[in-house]
Structure formats: structure tokens, C-alpha cells
Structure 1
Amino acid sequence: MDFLFLPAYAYGEMGCPPLIPPVATVLYEVQVLDFLDSAQVDEFFAMSSEEQNTVPLSTLFNVVDTERSFGNHCFNQSRFEDAKDRYKQAVTLLGNREMEEKRSIAAVQLPIYLTLSLSLTQLRLDRPLKALEYGHKALEIDPTNTKALFRCGQAYLELFDYEKAQDYHTMAQANKPFDIDINNLLRKLAICYKDYLDKEKEMCFKMCADFVKK
């Protein structure tokens, strides 16, 4: 894709010696590596709150899906703060609709909470409490959801609450006994828990030893 820029929009009267002369019209060849169409999103956010709340659900879902795609794009570039903001915006838009639409909305909310999502993004930002909050929101929608159980287990592991982490991972494993990620995390959890217990035992032994000396 080629773009032609007049001097005023390129390098001006000075140019860029020695490669670009003064007052040069510049032809740029641009390769598009990625593209997200935000036209419908821009139109939506140009509406008033009342107008936004009256658009068809299909339109709202398209806007939310685009916001989620932007979030995924930011997540894949490790721009976790930007990803979090996009995911939260998507959830807020869904939360503004009336109660009778909640069931349809819940099905759209669930992946925003879970996959390349708010919960995982908060873990990447070292915010396990927030990750846990979104994991629990997902479980409110689907109490047996394996991904939600797994995310909660991850969050509890980051919070060093090994017993709850094991509870959630065990429930996730019951749903998918051969899932590699779940089984790997259970092994990691077992190692962390053993190290924790060993340190606790060592601390108790030292305290008892000090007490005997006294």
C-alpha cells in the first residue's frame, strides 16, 4: 500500500540531508501487518449512554468483541495495562444492559474474564487478588467452568494459599484429568507446598531449640 505525502506532511523545507532534498514529496510504501476495524466501536462511543443502551444486542456484541480483540492484541504485545483497560471496557458495556438480557450477555462475558482476559492479564501484572476476583465472577456465571477453576487456583498459588490452590486445581483436574497445564501446575503446587511445610517445620524446630536453651 503506497502513500504520497506533500512536503508539508513529510520533511518540509529543510528535507533530511543527505538522503531527502528540501521540499521533497515523499512516497511511502506501507506493509500492513495487522488490522482491527474500529469503525463500529467509534460510532458506538459517539452515542449517548441512552442510545448505547438501546442498540440491538448483536451490535453491542460486535463492539464488545472488537474491544476484546484489541485487548488480545495488547496482551500479545505484553501491554498488559492497555489489555486490562480494553477488557474492563468490554465488561462495563455488557454490564449496562437490562436484566432480561443478562443470560445472553453472560455467555459473552465468560471468555473476557478467562482466556486472554482480565483474570490472566491481572496475573501477568502481579495482581493475584484482582485475578481471583475475575475468576470468581466467571464461576458465578458457570460454577463448574474448568478455566475459571484453573485461574482461581493460579491466583491462590500466587497468594501462597496452597490449600485453596490445591482445592481449585483438584476440581479443575476432575473436569479435565489429562490436561497438561492443570497437571503441571499441580506438580508445581506440590513442590511449593512441600517447601513451605519444610520451612515451617525448620522454624518450629529452631524456636523449640531456643526455648530449651533458655
Structure 2
Amino acid sequence: MDVRESDMAQGIGTVARDMNCDDENYPIVQLTKSLTIKDVYSESGAILEIAENQKPSKDCTDDNGNFFNDESLFKSLSFGAGNALFDDDDEDSGSDDDAEAFEKLSRKMEDMTGDGGVLKMEVRPGIGGDIPSRAYVTFHYSAYLQYSDEPFDSSWLRGKPEKKKLDFGELLPGLNIAIKTMRKDETARFLVKSSYAFGKLGCQPRIPSNETILYEIYVISFIDCDAADVYENLDSKEEHAATFQEKLEAARGFHRKGNEHYHEGNLFAAKDAYFRAAWIMEDAHLKDEKEEEERGTLLIKMHSNLAQVFLDMNEPARACTRCNKGLAVRGVHSKDLIAKVYFRYGKAKCMLHDFKGARKALLHAQRLKPNNMDISSELEMVLLKEQKYEAQEQLMYKQMFEPLVQSSAGTLTENVVKVRPEFERVVEQTILRFIAEPNMNELQFPSSLSPVEIACVTAAAKAAECIISVKPNGAETILKIMKKAVQ
């Protein structure tokens, strides 16, 4: 009986000669105790005890939760060196029927290295410029051996793209060269000789020695952050000695890093990158108007981006600070850039319930971009929120004083709704202690009080001749009492 290492390593207690569920000669057998690789390879050996009560074998034909349910995944794995990719009736490839599959494919490919070490076939063209050296590249890939229908390695199967820095030793030499020949959104296939891949030793047992590898690669995106990485490794003296252009390129690199993190949903990393770019520009020494204009444009972008990050983090006060800093940058800048800052300033003000300030900022943005639908929609939203907020405030004040109603005799009488006597007593004692304490000038009550309880506190505070402050805060109410100033 042969024990499968993958099952033992997971400790699932299963022994089988063949994991094919259709093979009735070698059914799956449960053990009384699971085994690990260490147990099997120990000098003393391992004893296998078969459990008396065997559970039914899992039906491998069950297609519930099929792993291959992603169309892009299926397409990426739908070819291989043993599939119809090589069954081509083309005259060039059909001249030698005894040729190996990779040899047939190589005739349709372009040499990228001059020695045939990396050959390329473009499947789908990309967009934009070439990928620069030392860029961070996000890509998917599948790797095949000759005559293999399934990949021995695939980022598609892992469900997550790879993100590597080129020319930094993080990739096989052939894979590094291959990606540098591509552009964003491009899909290409590469034949990589062993000297550019796993070499004479291979990677046993999956990859034999001196094996050529077929890669299909899809480039999702890339960012050029080399200048930022170089600047990051400078000491304080070197940073101070750096030219404006070096600092500008470094700041732009951090800007690109921040954008990448933001699109990935990593707000904290994006925030750090944007702050780094802003600090570099604020520390830069300027020698002419052109440098001042380049610095100012990038600084406004960084403050604007930071404002958006803080809006997403639900920190409107910090977003307002960033907007104010962006608007304070000297120089003449594009209307689009300034309008974006005012737009985000208006959104932050609205989140702080400063509707007047929000309208003012959004109207500034609208004057700069009169046909922008996002600005118009946000202005309408601010108006609706302000009306709703005022209605809630009126309702709160109405409910606050409902416990006291006017009787037919013209005197104030208590309504049916009353607070508990214990609550009244605690409020009175608290206010008396507050008045007696010379070092306290303000007392805030819990924001979770009901309208009736707020009315009770208000009445007690009035009786003690205190100043009352009631301020709505969303669904809650902030209630404070203050001592009157001594005349």
C-alpha cells in the first residue's frame, strides 16, 4: 500500500494507491490515526492502522463548487503543449511531421535575445509604452512543459496575480526578459530555454533538467517607481544634495505608487506614498518659475489625493485640512485641478454637517467646471441633506418640550410621558455638584438621552440658572450646561 505524501502532510488520515475515484481496485481507506511526512520518513518507520468503520468515499463526480468556474481562468488554461495549439496545418510548420511540439511553435515566434533563449508570440496586443527597467509589474501567467495539457505553475490557479519588480532578481532571467518586451493589457506566449529558466538541474520532481518552458503571460499593469526607490535609499545629506529634477522624479514615483495602492484598496499605503511625495516637494529648493509651477502642480495633486483618501477613511476633518493646503499652494494652476480640490472640500464639509461651507466650496467648483454632472449631483445631495437635517432638528426640539403642555387654565402641566423619579434625582444631584465645583465650567450629558430625558435635564438646568446648549449630531444629541459668568 502506497501512502500519498500530500495527504499525509495535511494529516487527513487517508491512504490510497491512486486518487482516481473511478478506480475500484484501489479504494480510499481511512486510518485510525493520521500520519505526517516526519512519521513516514523516521528511522523507526510507521504503523498504519485501518479504521473499522470506513466512511463512504467522496464522489469526485460532484461538480458543486467547481473550481474552474472563472471564464478568464478557463481560457488561460485552455491550451497547452499537448493541445491543438500545435496541430497547425500551416505549410511552414507542417514541413517536418517528426518535429517536436516546441520546435513547431518556435518557427512562428520572434527571437528576443539573439541566441534563441527567449522566443515570443504575441497573442493580443497591448496599449501604451513599453515596460521600463526596474518597474513594478502586476501580471498573470501559466507555465507548461512540452506535451503537457495542464500548467505546472499558474497564478490563475492561485486566484491572485503576481506583482514583481523587474531587474531585481525576483524573476527567472527569461521571464524578466519576456515581460520587458510587453505592454499593458498585452497577452503573449514565450518559449524560454533552460539556460534562461531552471538550468541543468531543473526543479525536481516537477521540472526535469535542461527543460524548455512555455509561458503565457498577461500584463495587467505596471508602475515606474525606480526614482522613488533610489531616493528612499539616500541618507539625509544625499537627500539635501539632490537636484530639483531628481526630487521631482522621486515624488512622481511615490505618486504612482500611491495610485497603485489606492486602486488596490490599500488606503493606508496610498496615504503614506502621497504624504512622501508631498514632503519631498515641500523640501525642494526652487530656482525659477518653471520649477515652482511643476512643484505646485504635483503638491496640489498630492493634497487632493490625500483628501480623497481621508474621505474614504471617513475622516472629513483631515480631508478639509488637505484641501486647504492644496488651495494655499502658490501659482496659477489648471481649472480641473482646482475644481477637484473644491469638490472634495465640499464633500468633506457636508460630512461635517457644515452645509453652508459645503455649498460654498461646491459652487466654487461649479464655476470652474459648469457642466460637470458630479458637482451638480453633489450640490443637490447637499441641499437634500440640509433639509433633512433641519427637519430632524425641528422634530428633536418639538419632542424635547412635549412633556410640558399648556393647560386650559393657561398654566404649564406635565404631559403623560414622564421620566423615572430616580433619573430626576440623579440629574438634580449632578447639577448641584457641578455648581458647587469651582473648577468646572461646563458639564456634558450622555448623547444617548431620550427627548423626555433631555427635557428633564433642561428643566433642572434652567431652575439652577445654568446656560443650556443643545446641538444635534446625526441621530444623537449633544447636551451641555454651563455656568453663567459672574458679573
Q: TM-score, normalised by structure 1?
A: 0.82
Alignment of 1:157-172 (within 5 A): 157-172=350-365
**Cα distance change on mapping 1:199 and 1:160 into 2, 3 Å:** same
- Is 1:103 the equivalent of 2:296? no
The structural deviation recorded for 1:189 is 0.6
Question: What's 1:53 paired with?
Answer: 240
Q: Which residue of 2 aligns with 1:62?
A: 249
CA deviation vs aligned residue, 1:32-74 (integer Å, no higher than 9, x gap): 3222233322222222222222222122111111110111111
SS at match of 2:404: helix
Q: Do the aligned partners of residues 198 and 42 (structure 1) sit closer, same or farther apart at CA in structure 2, a change above 3 Å counting?
A: same
Whole-angstrom distance in 2 between the partners of 1:160 and 1:89: 31
How much does 1:21 deviate? 6.7
**Is 1:38–2:225 an aligned residue pair?**
yes
Matched, 1:82 2:286: no
CA–CA distance in 1 between the matches of 2:309 and 2:351? 14
> 3-state SS of the aligned residue for 2:241?
coil
Question: Kindly tell me: are residues 211 and 57 of structure 1, through their superposed partners in 2, closer, same or farther at Cα, counting changes over 3 Å?
Answer: same
Cα displacement (A) at 1:28: 6.7
Instruction: Report how far residue 26 of structure 1 moved.
Output: 8.5
- Judge conservation of contact 2:226–2:253 (CA < 8 Å) in 1: no
The 1-side partners of 2:309 and 2:259 are apart by 10
Query: What residue number does 1:124 align with?
Result: 312
The one-letter amino acid of 1:190's match is L
Q: Is the 8 A contact 2:225 2:257 kept in 1?
A: no
CA distance in 2, matches of 1:188, 1:55: 47
The question of whether the paired residues in 1 share the 8 Å contact of 2:244 and 2:286 is answered with no
SS in structure 2 opposite 1:33?
A: strand
Query: In the alignment, which residue of structure 1 is the partner of 2:8?
Result: none
From 136, 161, 168, the counterpart of 2:324: 136
2:394 is aligned with 1:201: yes
What is the letter of the counterpart of residue 141 of structure 1?
A: V
Structure 1 residues 21, 141: CA separation in 2 closer, same or farther (over 3 Å shift)? closer
Deviation of 1:78 (Å)? 1.5
- Matched AA of 2:297: A
Q: Specify the code of the residue in structure 2 equivalent to 1:94.
A: M
Which structure shows the bigger proportion of residues in helix conformation? 1
Change (3 A) 1:100 1:181: same
State the Cα deviation string for residues 84-135 of structure 1 (Å, max 9, x = none). 1110110111122237678342232111122xx1111111111111111110
Distance 1:159 1:26 in 2: 62
1:112 aligns with 2:302: yes
Distance 1:185 1:175 in 2: 15
Give the gaps of 5 or more residues in structure 1.
Answer: none
Distance 1:163 1:154 in 2: 12
Please tell me the residue identity of whatever aligns with 1:187.
E
The structure that is strand-richer by fraction is 2
How many percent of aligned residue pairs carry the same amino acid?
A: 20
Find the structure with the greater CA-based Rg.
Answer: 2
The 1:37/1:175 distance shift into structure 2, 3 A limit, reads closer
Structure 1 pair 28/163, CA: closer, same or farther in 2 (3 Å)? farther
Single out whichever of 23-32 and 177-186 deviates more from structure 2. Answer: 23-32
3-state DSSP of counterpart to 1:32: strand
Secondary structure at 1:209's aligned position in 2?
coil
Q: What is the root-mean-square deviation in Å for CA atoms of aligned residues?
A: 2.9
Which one-letter code corresponds to 2:298 in the other structure?
Answer: V
Gaps of 5+ in 2: 1-177, 179-189, 406-412, 415-487
Native 8 Å contact 2:343 2:375 kept in 1: yes
User: What is the CA–CA distance in structure 2 between the aligned matches of 1:26 and 1:120, rounded to whole Å?
Assistant: 48
- So what's the TM-score if we normalise by structure 2? 0.38
Structure 1, 121-130 or 95-104: larger mean CA deviation: 95-104
Q: Is the 8 Å Cα contact of residues 296 and 330 (structure 2) preserved in structure 1?
A: no
Please give the per-residue CA displacement for 1:137-171, whole angstroms capped at 9, x wherever unaligned: 01111699322221111111112222211221122
Measure, in 2, the Cα distance between the counterparts of 1:43 and 1:149: 34
Question: Matched residue pairs, number?
Answer: 206
- Partner Cα separation in structure 2 for residue 179 and residue 37 of structure 1: 32
